[in-house]
Amino acid sequence: MENKDDFYMGLAIEQAKQAGEIGEVPIGAVIIMQDEMIAAAYNRRETWHDATAHAEVIAIREACAKLGCWRLTGATLYVTIEPCPMCAGALVMSRIDRLVYGSADYKAGAVESLFNIVQHKSLNHQLFVTAGVRSDECSTLMKDFFRQRRK
């Protein structure tokens, strides 16, 4: 599983780089089902003037449209940064089975840093979580982006 996780996180990192190139916060996500990428997205909040246009939400919308179903049972979402509360809730509501993320987000993370929405026992669905996949690369993308913005 580890090599696949590294490979698929690389696809999410490529999405994040595309976001950074257009001035968006460099967060990327891909959804994999049965070893096939069914969705790929990056942040578009600035471009679309939409507070909900996070990489995870866009990827979920794309996957649901492709499959013609809102339930993404059997899918794994790879994302470069720990999901925020909105995205963590969307993961639960879409019934994604597994979440793999790169770096923790100590300001808004809702998987381990501030909350754990995706494994909350009161909800009717919990995800399996793998954290820290290619964490250094994911973290560096964010740090470099914000360092450039401050110049």
- The active-site residue, picked from 56, 82, 112, 137, is 56
The single residue listed with the structure tokens 């009161």 is 122
Verify whether residue 14 is a known catalytic residue.
no
Q: Which residues contact 25 (CB under 8 A, 6 or more apart)?
A: 19, 43, 45, 142, 145
Q: 140 to each of 11, 19, 103, how far by Cα in Å?
A: 16, 14, 9
Tell me the C-alpha distance between 100 and 98, whole Å: 7
132 CB burial (10 A radius; 0-12, 13-18, 19+): middle
Where do the DSSP E strands lie in the chain? 28-33, 36-42, 75-81, 98-103, 128-131
CA distance linking residue 48 with residue 6, whole number of Å = 30
Catalytic residues: 56
